[in-house]
Homo-oligomer: A and B are copies of this chain.
Amino acid sequence: MKMISAVIKPFKLDDVREALSGIGITGLTVTEVKGFGRQKGHTELYRGAEYVVDFVPKVRLDLAVSDEQVDSVIEVITQAAGTGKIGDGKIFVSNLEHVVRIRTGETNDDAI
């Protein structure tokens, strides 16, 4: 299993969730974060306004997925989150050793 963490533009959250749903992914956790990227000091558009501060509101998605789902999840997030403009975000993949679904006690792939 892998944990896929993606930091994306907040207005893209619904598109990304729908696209993920389309490939069978329903479980995910969303955190509101502040992002600092390469354009420090430059401006970035957010809700039609230019941000002159050097951080930008982003959302972070965390998804535990099975090994087989990793490639399609990355592809779907990349396509659904992309605008072609700076600040589109990043995807980080790390290994997941163990998962438990609390209500049922199921573990690992059955728990995702």
A contact set with B: CB distance below 8 Å: 2-3, 7-8, 17, 21, 26-38, 40, 55, 58, 60, 64, 70, 74, 77-78, 81-103, 105, 111
Question: Would you give 17 A-B contacts (Cβ < 8 Å), ordered by A?
Answer: A26-B38, A26-B40, A29-B58, A29-B60, A30-B34, A30-B55, A31-B34, A31-B60, A64-B90, A74-B98, A77-B102, A84-B103, A87-B103, A89-B102, A90-B102, A91-B102, A93-B99
A37 touches B31 (CB 8 A): no
Q: From residue A16, how far is it (CB to closest CB) to chain B in Å?
A: 10
B98 touches A93 (CB 8 A): yes
Distance, CA A94 to CA B100, complexed state (A): 12
Count this chain's copies in the assembly. Answer: 3
B36 touches A29 (CB 8 A): yes
List the B side residues contacting A17 at CB < 8 Å.
36
Instruction: With a 10 A CB-CB cut-off, give which of A77, A88, A101 has the most chain B CB atoms.
Output: A101
B102 touches A81 (CB 8 A): yes
